[in-house]
Structure 1
Amino acid sequence: MTFDVQLLLLALAPLFLACVLAEMIYWRRRGRTDIYSWPDTVCNAGLALLHQGADKLAWLLVLPLYQLVYQHRLFQFDQSWGSLLLLFLGQDFLYYWFHRASHRVRWLWAAHSVHHSSTRMNLSTAFRQSLFYPLAGMWAFWLPLAWLGFAPQLVIAIVLINLACQFFVHTQSIPRLGWLEYVFNTPSIHRSHHAKNPRYIDRNYAGVLVIWDRLFGSFVEESAAEPCDYGTVKPVPSVNPWTVSISEWRDMLHEVRAARGWRQRLQLLFGPPEDARPASATDRTPQSR
């Protein structure tokens, strides 16, 4: 099934690109030249290619570990629709905690910050991913699913499907969607997540379902009175995919080398990102970006 899903996602690539082009034309015709810029869009594409290469290699390397864990599974799930639905819910739940940790643990934020570093919000922003997610340990968050009894290939397939669904929430073209906002992650909900306004920082971690944010107190509504200001508190003034990829890692490791004592080093590596932020930024908000 994993192979089939990868082929499906490859087949959907033209659809994703067509959506980006359509959105670009949509905003251009309305005079909104600020939504897209060619340097930013090309950078997003370059980051996507780097991420895809690293992601495929990472799955090849960690799949034996998943299979080892699966051998000691607690239950045996088949490939029925009921089991697949349960797997989808479990993976989306774990994605929520991965995403939340990625904003509160600097080691994870070093990778995830790439996705937030653009000052624009459009469908191409969904392509803006880090090739260092495997190094950060993203793959480890799905291991409990194999231990529970879901076949590793199915776990990987659901992870890929979940991430593909999130492509469509990276847009300013779609307004709020009424009752759907109570169940699903929507463009409005995700726009707030990408904003660096104090009201929005470290909120709305949803993958596909927003119920986890509502259950665990991390939900915030997009407000017309406070338009989203996209990007990170610590800007990354570059459109070079490699520079964007290593920016936070470089800063983090530089600060670790300059630190005094292991306690401070560990805090810089695994504490909240704001612990390393300049005082002026920290004073604005106690949150991560």
Structure 2
Amino acid sequence: MDVPAFVETWNPITLAIPFFTISVFAEMVHARLTGKTRFETRDSASSLVMGLGNNVSSIIFGLVLGGWSVFVYEHRLMDISFAWWVWVIAIFLDDFLYYWSHRFAHTVRWFWADHVVHHSSQHYNLTTALRQPWISPFTLKFLWLGSAMVFVGFHPALVAFVGALNLIYQFWIHTEAIKKCPAWFEAVFNTPSHHRVHHATNPLYLDRNYAGIFIIWDKMFGTFQAELEDEPCRYGIVKNLGTYNPLKICLHEWLAIVKDMAGAKSAKHAVMYLVAPPGWSPDGSRETSSQILARWKARQGVGEVESGKAPTAPEAAE
């Protein structure tokens, strides 16, 4: 199959780096002039170092991941062309798979150990988008979910290209400078408002809005939560790290898993520390996101919270 020249020669993320750089600088200027966006020097520096490390990691593991994609493609179910409509389908399908991959990254601790890196900043600006993990291949997610489209018959180069476009799209939604987009856009696409909710630790906002490009998946599968004017976002993770050390940011949850498994009283508990939601513990001494939300609702004296409404302001998640 003939691969379009631009797919073989263009790296969308590399081409986007000047845009990323200019945008971060512009947002910093905006923050200085208006005070509507917040930056912290050490936090931003940590995010930039994490982004650089992620690029190095991609180069190091690139041959392994590329070789696996080629192997899967050799056993594909069918041949799919590069027709324009294939690109449209690929973008939607990639985003659909991203939604589920992202959802698993919040509900299975093994995957959360990697993804927590991206959520570890207590600030929300464009440098946060660059705060990425270094050892993602160790989750082994690429063996199945990352290879699904290739196995069906989409060319690996096409899959990599649309995946890169998805990541590039998500860069601009990491900002407080843009409050709301037009209603029609908010209804279909992921936006800064939707993604602020995703990064928030407010009990009402925990584990919501997993979308990459299209917010429709969250609305279809019951994980959507609108950003509320009377419920400002608090960013970070439930128990914040209190460090700007990139190595600790990268490895802290992996080390916590090892510690928990080493102290487990049974093989079942050891496995649960890997596959249960973050915060699970056999004695209930910790809390998962769903338990935090349930406790908050109980304190507020309410039942189910509608996606567009909230009762009185909640307490901070412990």
Cα deviation for residue 193 of structure 1 reads 0.2
Cα deviation for residue 279 of structure 1 reads 3.4
- How many residue pairs are counted as aligned between the two chains? 287
Cα deviation for residue 240 of structure 1 reads 1.2
Larger radius of gyration between Structure 1 and Structure 2: 2
Cα deviation for residue 2 of structure 1 reads 5.0
CA 98–90 in structure 1, closer or farther in 2 if over 3 Å, else same: same
TM (normalized to structure 1)? 0.94
Asked whether the 8 Å contact 1:107–1:269 carries over to 2, the reply is: yes
Asked whether the 8 Å contact 2:280–2:286 carries over to 1, the reply is: no
Q: Match for 1:123: what amino acid? A: L
Q: Distance in 2 between matches of 1:27 and 1:134?
A: 36
Are 1:63 and 2:66 matched, yes or no? yes
Q: SS of the counterpart of 2:279?
A: helix
Cα deviation for residue 136 of structure 1 reads 1.5
Asked whether the 8 Å contact 1:5–1:160 carries over to 2, the reply is: no
Q: What is the 5 A alignment of 1:179-198?
A: 179-198=184-203
Asked whether the 8 Å contact 1:66–1:146 carries over to 2, the reply is: yes
Q: Match for 1:273: what amino acid? A: P
Q: Match for 2:293: what amino acid? A: T
State which of 26, 29, 43 in structure 1 corresponds to 2:30: 26
Cα deviation for residue 280 of structure 1 reads 6.3
Q: Distance in 2 between matches of 1:286 and 1:234?
A: 18
Counterpart of 1:279 in structure 2 is: 285
Deviations 1:14-64 (A, max 9, x none): 2111111111111111235x7101101110010001111112332310222
Q: Match for 1:225: what amino acid? A: D
Q: Distance in 2 between matches of 1:69 and 1:45?
A: 33
Where do 5+ consecutive residues of structure 2 fail to align?
1-5, 296-316
Q: Distance in 1 between matches of 2:34 and 2:70?
A: 52
Deviations 1:152-211 (A, max 9, x none): 121111111111110010000111211111110000000000000011000000001111
Deviates more, 1:52-61 or 1:151-160: 52-61
Asked whether the 8 Å contact 2:122–2:234 carries over to 1, the reply is: yes
Are 1:144 and 2:152 matched, yes or no? no
Q: SS of the counterpart of 2:280?
A: helix
In percent, how many aligned pairs have the same letter? Answer: 35
Q: Distance in 2 between matches of 1:29 and 1:67?
A: 50
Cα deviation for residue 3 of structure 1 reads 4.6
Q: Distance in 2 between matches of 1:279 and 1:28?
A: 43
Counterpart of 1:124 in structure 2 is: 127
Q: Match for 1:234: what amino acid? A: K
Are 1:48 and 2:56 matched, yes or no? no
Cα deviation for residue 221 of structure 1 reads 0.1
Cα deviation for residue 236 of structure 1 reads 1.1
CA 114–96 in structure 1, closer or farther in 2 if over 3 Å, else same: same
Cα deviation for residue 138 of structure 1 reads 3.8
CA 21–242 in structure 1, closer or farther in 2 if over 3 Å, else same: same
Counterpart of 2:303 in structure 1 is: none
Q: Match for 1:74: what amino acid? A: L
Asked whether the 8 Å contact 1:55–1:134 carries over to 2, the reply is: no
Counterpart of 2:19 in structure 1 is: 15
Q: Which has the higher helix share?
A: 1
Counterpart of 1:95 in structure 2 is: 98
Q: Distance in 2 between matches of 1:93 and 1:30?
A: 37
Q: Distance in 1 between matches of 2:35 and 2:198?
A: 25
CA 284–111 in structure 1, closer or farther in 2 if over 3 Å, else same: same
Asked whether the 8 Å contact 1:188–1:222 carries over to 2, the reply is: yes
Q: Match for 2:63: what amino acid? A: L
State which of 269, 273, 279 in structure 2 corresponds to 1:268: 273
Q: Distance in 1 between matches of 2:29 and 2:271?
A: 47
Q: Match for 2:196: what amino acid? A: R
Q: Distance in 2 between matches of 1:97 and 1:90?
A: 11
Asked whether the 8 Å contact 1:92–1:162 carries over to 2, the reply is: yes
Asked whether the 8 Å contact 1:23–1:173 carries over to 2, the reply is: yes
Are 1:163 and 2:160 matched, yes or no? no
Measured on the aligned residues, the alpha-carbon RMSD in Å equals 2.0
Q: Distance in 1 between matches of 2:69 and 2:174?
A: 31
Q: What is the 5 A alignment of 1:101-112?
A: 101-112=104-115
Q: Distance in 2 between matches of 1:276 and 1:166?
A: 33
Q: Match for 2:155: what amino acid? A: A
